[in-house]
Amino acid sequence: MRVILLGGGETVETIYFLARLFVRRGYDVTIVDPNPAEAQTLSRRVKATVLVGDGSDPVVLEEAGARQADLVLSLTPQDPDNLVACQVAQKLYGVPRTLALVNDPENEEVFCKLGITEVFSSTKVIGSLIEGRTVFDEITHLFPADEGRRYVTEIVLDGDAPVIGQTLTEIQLPPESLVVAIIRDGHVVVPGGEDRLQVADRLIVIALPEYQERLLLALAGEEA
């Protein structure tokens, strides 16, 4: 696979480690870094073609081999640069996969609207990592799914939980939420409509972040 990595400045270490990873996997890696000294260091540390230039400039992208590239990863510290680089790669050179780093999480949606659907927001990932590690008694956020758009959460029902004794069809869950599994007495139960919830049940639930609070309120009777 031919990969082009664009970046530098604050993201140069990320570029280096990714390049090293890809080279080990056997990919053909080209790096574009605007800073000459950095570019030289990179070229010494990793077995990849390193160019000095602005990755969002069509001329530079062409020199980097965009016409034959399979993947362009734009990881510069500036969102506009990442957007333009990916757009040029896609629309001018037809690169099939482009991935952009988005520093401002609000821009994720913006990039998608502008045609760059594979986006990666480090802020969001770190944020949800911190949240995911949070354990509040009966509630554990397990992990983000669907590229951070949904959360998988484990909820333990204690005696105060309002849904004790109700069936899954009876409880009012917020939209796009689903009880995926019930762990009871050490066994995993695939939930059916007739299962009545008991004390000490552990519910594995998948939901949207914005409905987290409502979900927890509905099931466990408390806020996280």
Contact track, another protein, 56-95, x by CB under 8 A? xxxx------------------xxxx-xx--xx--xx---
With contacts defined by CB under 8 A, how many residues of the chain interact with another protein? 20
The answer to the question of residue 106 lying near another protein (CB under 8 A) is yes
DSSP conformation class of 170: T
**Min CB(50)–another protein separation in Å:** 21
- What's the length of the chain? 224
By beta-carbon proximity to another protein, the closer residue of 79 and 138 is 79
Question: Amino acid letter at 48?
Answer: A
**Min CB(105)–another protein separation in Å:** 10
By beta-carbon proximity to another protein, the closer residue of 92 and 178 is 92
CA pair distance 182, 87, nearest whole angstrom: 45
CB-based contact 153:207 (threshold 8 Å) = yes
The answer to the question of residue 38 lying near another protein (CB under 8 A) is no
Where do we find the tokens 């909820």? 155
By beta-carbon proximity to another protein, the closer residue of 39 and 88 is 88
CB-based contact 118:147 (threshold 8 Å) = no
Q: How far is CA 69 from CA 1, 23, 53, 73, 187, in A?
A: 8, 15, 17, 11, 48
Parallel, antiparallel, or unpaired for β 187-189 and 178-184? antiparallel
**Min CB(136)–another protein separation in Å:** 30
DSSP conformation class of 196: B
DSSP conformation class of 217: H
Q: For the chain, how many helices (H) and strands (E)?
A: 7, 12
By beta-carbon proximity to another protein, the closer residue of 98 and 107 is 107
> Which residues, in sequence order, are CB contacts of 122 under 8 Å at separation 6+?
101, 103
* Among the residue ranges 16-24, 54-62, 120-128, 158-166, the one whose residues contact another protein (CB under 8 A): 54-62
Taking CB under 8 A as the criterion, the residue among 23, 52, 99, 110 binding another protein is: 110
The answer to the question of residue 114 lying near another protein (CB under 8 A) is yes
By beta-carbon proximity to another protein, the closer residue of 101 and 157 is 101
**Min CB(115)–another protein separation in Å:** 9
Residues that bind another protein (CB under 8 A): 56-59, 78-81, 83-84, 87-88, 91-92, 104, 106-107, 110, 113-114
